[in-house]
A and B are shown apart, each in its own frame.
Chain A
Amino acid sequence: MSEPMSGRMRVVIAEDHYLVREGTRRLLEDTGEVVVVAAVGTADELLDAVHRFRPDAVIADIRMPPDHHTEGITAAHAIRAAHPGIGVVVLSQHANEQYAFALFQHGTDGLAYLLKERIGELEELLRALREVAAGRSVIDPRIVEVLVGSLTRTTDAPLSQLTRRELDVLRHMAQGKNNRSIAESLSLSESTIEKHVNSTFAKLGLAEETQLHRRVTAVLTYLRYGPEPAP
């Protein structure tokens, strides 16, 4: 079934709870920006629908039958592997960064991790669908909030390879700054900052990805493993 209207995003919804599934479908179609080409209840049905309809993006519940664990994440990885052009928004009831890490473990491109209640923030949801469809990445502000607020550090961090200056740069990056404002904050030249950023990417093994996604991944790594131990 193909949709002739090229301006509207074609989306598949996977959600096992009927009311939530239909509510989301109604909400999205109500905007006029989205065509829900399929709404299914399990991960297997989702993969099948993706295969058949080749949507622009997918909204997947993280917990689905049969086991109600992280079938949504597994399905997202499968979809990204089989169809790199299809973005996946994983809706989760877990305000827990560990699930986001699990989702992003093979890369952040075309993946979003949003809390389920974000369907109430319709604009946020639409934005996330657009971002993943474009191959970019979104992470729920609540998760970032937890990571930024965390005082935890671990001793096996990959960050231990970074120099103090590179960590400084990364810390500013995690606050959402671009290279120019980081340069201003640290009183360094923008080219110096760019050099630090590139060496950080190299040390974190992010050389192969696009600039923007390397940035997101680096920040996630930073947030995940925590700041440098206090002296």
Chain B
Amino acid sequence: MRVLAVSGGLGLLYAVALGAGLAASRTLPWALGAVLPCYLAGLSLCWKAPGHPVARRLLAVGSWAALGLVVRFTVAFLGSAAGWVPGPAVSWPLLLLARMVDVVAAVMVARLLALLPDGREHHPYERVALRSLWLLLAAPLVVMLVPMPLWLRLRLLVQPEAWMPAVGAGLLVVRSVLDTRRSGARNAGRWRTVAAAAFALFAGRGSMRLFRMWQGDDGPAYFIGCALGALPYVVVSAGLVYGAFRHRLPGLDFTARRSTVYGLLWTIIGGWYLGMVTALGLTASQYLPISAAVLVAVSVTMLCQPLRRQANRLAARHVFGVRPSNFELLVQFGTTLEHAYDLTLLAPQLAVSLQEWLDLRWVRVELGTSGPGRLPSADGTAGVPPDGAGSSRTRVGLCYGDDALGFIEYGPKDEGRFTPEDRDLVETLARQAALAVHNARLNAELSIRIEEVQRQASELNASRTRLVQAQDTERRRIERQLHDGIQQELVALVAKLRLARNQLCRNGDTVYTTLTELQDDACRVIDGLRELAHGIHPPVLTDQGLAAAVMSRARRLPIPVTVEIEPSVRPARFTPDIEEAAFFLVSEAFTNVLKHARAGRVTVRIGRAGGSLLLDVSDDGVGLCPTTGPGSGLTGMRDRIEAVGGELSIISRPGDGTTLRARITETRRETTDV
């Protein structure tokens, strides 16, 4: 292989040097436009993937074509140097040799094309068909030996290699069709299209050769022939280089710098362009004086410059992709961030973007995963991170202030090294992502808070309504008791007083009894008033505080009550609203126990812990019915407790008693000495 490469290179150098010497050489365009690209492409592919059949074949084609050039140029040089016009006896063997070399090159191109993309034979017929192509080598001999007119002999001699690329492309079409049928490969459709396009192109090229033979080899036909003749080599070379790099031809697994690939494509395009321009100049010189021809060539070169630039740009875009600047990346990512309410979308997007922009093997992004559970978090991965811890990886933390909000982790670049600019880019993106996570968190926290506040607001509304209703009900009760109870009794007292007066006037004996009754009645009214007043507000609560009021209330219960009041609670005074709410709770709990619980015993515990007043009323009654839920009495208690910033929990199981447990944050008043 090395021998092939070296000899090809030497041959090429020799040919170009010689060709430049031969001013009017018509073969120079061919050397620049076809052989040089082919050789270079083969050389670089072989260098990167030495064992690959396609690479080997391409280099072989290039080298062989270079050899062909050597032969031709040597013949031409010798001819012009010696100054003789070779007669048939001398020229025949030389001509034959040149033809043979061309045929071999053409067959090699056909084999190269037919066995794409992996360079191996898939079907038995391919081996037969491709081997039989070598029979064409015999064609010149046959032509030589079989007697026929000279013109026919010449025509036959120059024909075969013109068709070979088309034959190769045709075989490739057949092969891709068969392959699809067999394996249903995914990319087969595209291959078939490429192959068919190549076949059409190369068949056109073959036809053109026929046209040239018929019309003569001069003038525009020469130029077109040069262009078309070089076409298969250029197209195949550029196609293979691009394909190998971009699409990873099977088995052609190599990494190359994008710049290398681009440089190669640039050289191929440049060589072909130079060849074509030379051909144009040569064509022009046939019609015009040398100076004019040079002028034409230069101006056409200038005019065609945009074409070449376009081709180069095309190659650059395909090799490098659309690669935006770091600034553009940041702007793009910033736009993405604007819509980054959803971290589950952002994380994969960030991972994929970073991987694409920086050519990283893999990227893993974790957003917000290091925080508490309820806050949003997400992760995203691009590429496949290796399992082992030993593999090279870099981790950039996402920090907002002192908060760690996740990280970006990435592997090495596909090619090349990580530059400081790349690192800056990652760190800038990490900062932006941290900001996004922070914002998403704020957002989430805010919506949690808002939900909470809304819930509290509606609960507060309901509770306020209930409290107002309870107050109204209580006022109506007091009014009823005053009017229907005490006032009526006072009216009765008045009536009885009138009776006493009557009795006094008539007969003083019975008035003593009546007056005694009157006194008892009045005492009853006082009792009634006392109870009413106590019901409105127990004076002992105001005068002596919660512990005394609870004890007093407990003593009037007809069932055993155990009161456990922490010593620190006894003398303590709390703000009136807390004392009232706490006493109301105990009092209502007692009322409920008596009404519903059928309890044998009640226990009240009052304690203090952590700046809170703790109340606990439990009974051994029947418990609450789990299906009906808390009744209005319990709701009222809860409202009262929550109105002073406390909370009430109700623990109850059927048959197992009920426990009311309240916690009220203390606001202490003074301590009395009771």
- B557 interface residue per 8 A CB criterion: yes
Residue A208 interfacial (CB < 8 Å)? no
A155 CA to B570 CA, complexed, in Å = 13
Chain B CB within 10 A, most for which of A97, A98, A146, A230 = A98
Is A189 in the interface zone, CB < 8 Å from B? no
Contact A151/B559 with A93-B530, A94-B540 known, Cβ cut-off 8 Å: yes
* In contact, A152 and B554 (Cβ under 8 angstroms): yes
Are A105 and B560 in contact, CB atoms less than 8 angstroms apart?
no
A230–B544 CB distance below 8 A: no
Q: Which residues of A contact B530 (CB under 8 A)?
A: 93-95
Is A123's beta carbon under 8 Å from chain B?
Answer: no
Q: Give the Cβ gap from B566 to chain A, nearest Cβ, in Å.
A: 8
Q: Is the CB of A151 within 8 A of B523?
A: no
Residues of chain B within 8 A of A105, CB atoms compared = 674
Cα–Cα, bound, A147→B555 (Å): 7
Chain B, range 657-674, C-beta contacts under 8 Å to A: 674
Determine if B213 is an interface residue (Cβ-Cβ < 8 Å).
no
Q: Are B564 and A151 in contact (CB under 8 A)?
A: no
What residues of A have a CB within 8 angstroms of the CB of B548 in the complex?
A: 98, 101
CB distance from A175 to the nearest CB of B (A): 17
Tell me which of A69, A147, A153 contacts B543 (CB under 8 A): A69
Q: Are B526 and A117 in contact (CB under 8 A)?
A: yes
The complex places the Cα of A102 from the Cα of B527 at a distance, in Å, of 22
Any A CB within 8 A of the CB of B336: no
- For residue B296, CB closer than 8 A to chain A, the reply is no
- Tell me whether A116 and B543 are in contact in the complex, defined as CB-CB below 8 angstroms, given that A152-B557, A152-B561 are known contacts: no
Find residues 471-524 in chain B having any chain A CB closer than 8 Å to their own CB.
519, 522-523
Contact in complex: B563, A70 (CB < 8 Å): no
Nearest-neighbor residue (CB-CB) of B538 within chain A: A96
Say yes or no: A151-B552 contact (C-beta < 8 A), given A93-B530, A120-B522. no
Q: How far is the CA of A230 from the CA of B562 in the complex (A)?
A: 10
B220 on the A face (CB < 8 A): no
In this assembly, does B51 line the interface, its C-beta being within 8 Å of a C-beta of chain A? no
Question: Which residues does chain B contribute within 8 Å of A153, judged by CB atoms?
Answer: 560-563
Chain A residues 92-126 with CB under 8 Å of chain B are 93-99, 101-102, 105, 116-117, 120
B542 CB within 8 Å of chain A: yes
* Any A CB within 8 A of the CB of B208: no
Residues on the B chain within 8 Å of A93, using CB: 526, 530
Q: Output the least CB separation between A171 and chain B (Å).
A: 16
Interface centre among A93, A117, A149, A230 (most CB of B within 10 A): A117
CB-based contact A155/B562 at 8 Å: yes
A residues near B544, Cβ cutoff 8 Å? 98-99, 102
Pair A99/B562 contact, Cβ less than 8 Å: no
Determine whether B231 belongs to the interface, using a CB cutoff of 8 Å to chain A: no
Question: Known: A152-B554, A156-B565. Contact between A99 and B540, CB under 8 A?
Answer: yes
- Flag whether A150 is at the interface (Cβ < 8 A): yes
Residue B633 is within 8 A (CB to CB) of chain A in the complex? no
Residues on B with C-beta less than 8 A from A66 are none
Docked-complex contact B674 and A230, CB < 8 angstroms: no
A230–B555 touching, CB < 8 Å: no
Q: Beyond A98-B540, A105-B674, A230-B560, is A154–B555 a contact (Cβ under 8 Å)?
A: no
The total number of A-B Cβ pairs within 8 Å is 74
Least Cβ–Cβ distance between A93 and chain B, in angstroms: 6
| Pair A154/B565 contact, Cβ less than 8 Å | yes
CB of B299 to closest CB in A, whole Å:
117
Most buried by B among A95, A96, A149, A150: A96
Check A99–B554 contact: CB distance below 8 A: no
Cβ of B49 under 8 Å from chain A: no
| Chain A residue contacts of B674, Cβ below 8 A | 101-102, 105
Interface: B551 (CB within 8 A): yes
Q: How many residues of B contact A (CB 8 A)?
A: 29
Partner of B526, one of A97, A101, A116, A146: A116
Residues 129-168 of chain A: 1 if any B CB is under 8 Å from the residue's CB, otherwise 0? Answer: 0000000000000000011011111111000000000000
Which residues, 164 to 205 on A, are CB-close (under 8 Å) to B?
none
Which chain B residues numbered 548 to 588 have a C-beta less than 8 Å away from chain A?
548-549, 551-552, 554-565, 567
Instruction: Name the residue on A nearest B566 (C-beta).
Output: A156
Determine whether the beta carbon of A151 is less than 8 Å from that of B526. no
Most chain B CB within 10 A, of A102, A116, A146, A230, is at A102
Residue of A116, A149, A151, A156 near B561 (CB, 8 A) is A151
Q: Is B539 an interface residue (CB 8 A)?
A: yes
**Chain B CB within 8 A of A229 CB:** yes
Least CB distance, B316 to chain A, in whole angstroms: 92
A78 to B26, CA, bound (A): 140
CB atoms of A98 and B552 under 8 A apart: yes
- Given A96-B540, A120-B522, A147-B555, CB of A156 within 8 Å of CB of B564: yes
| B-contacting residues, A36-89, CB 8 Å | 69-70
Q: A98–B551 contact, CB under 8 A?
A: yes
Distance of A122 from chain B, by nearest CB (Å): 10
Chain A nearest CB: distance from B545 CB in Å? 9
What residue of chain A has the Cβ atom nearest to residue B542's Cβ? A69
B497 to chain A: closest CB distance in Å?
Answer: 15
Cα–Cα distance between A39 and B569 once the two chains are bound (Å):
39
CA distance A143 to B308 in the complex (A): 118
CA distance A129 to B565 in the complex (A): 36
Contacts of A156 on B, CB cut-off 8 Å? Answer: 564-565, 567
Question: In the bound complex, how far is the Cα of B540 from the Cα of A99, in angstroms?
Answer: 8
Do the beta carbons of B565 and A150 come within 8 Å of each other?
A: no
- Is B562 a contact of A154 with CB atoms below 8 Å? yes
B543 touches A151 (CB 8 A): no
- CB within 8 A of B555: which of A102, A120, A152? A152
A94 to B560: give the CA distance in the assembly, Å.
Answer: 23
Q: Are A150 and B555 touching (Cβ within 8 A)?
A: yes
In the bound complex, CA of A160 to CA of B223 (Å): 126
The answer on a CB contact under 8 Å between B551 and A152 is yes
Q: Which chain A residues border B562 with CB–CB below 8 Å?
A: 152-155, 229
CA–CA, A102 to B547, complex, Å? 13
| Complex contacts, A151 vs chain B, CB 8 Å | 557-561
What residue in chain A is nearest B556 (Cβ atoms)?
A: A146
CB distance B543 to A99 under 8 Å?
Answer: yes
In the complex the two chains form, is A117's CB within 8 Å of B523's CB? Answer: yes
Bound complex: CA of A116 vs CA of B564, how far in Å? 32
In the bound complex, residues from chain A placing their C-beta under 8 Å from that of B551 are 98, 152, 154
Show 24 residue pairs from A and B whose CB-CB distance is below 8 angstroms, ordered by the A residue: A70-B543, A94-B530, A94-B539, A94-B540, A96-B539, A96-B552, A97-B552, A98-B544, A102-B544, A105-B674, A117-B523, A146-B556, A147-B555, A149-B555, A150-B554, A151-B557, A152-B557, A152-B560, A152-B563, A153-B561, A154-B563, A154-B564, A156-B567, A229-B562
10 nearest A-B pairs in the assembled complex, by CB-CB distance = A150-B555, A151-B560, A98-B548, A152-B554, A152-B561, A155-B564, A154-B563, A117-B523, A98-B540, A152-B555
Which residues in A have some Cβ–Cβ distance to B below 8 Å? Answer: 69-70, 93-99, 101-102, 105, 116-117, 120, 146-147, 149-156, 229-230
Q: A96-B539, A99-B543, A146-B556 are in contact. List 13 more A-B contacts (CB 8 A).
A: A93-B530, A94-B530, A101-B674, A102-B544, A116-B526, A117-B523, A146-B555, A151-B559, A151-B561, A152-B563, A154-B551, A155-B564, A156-B565
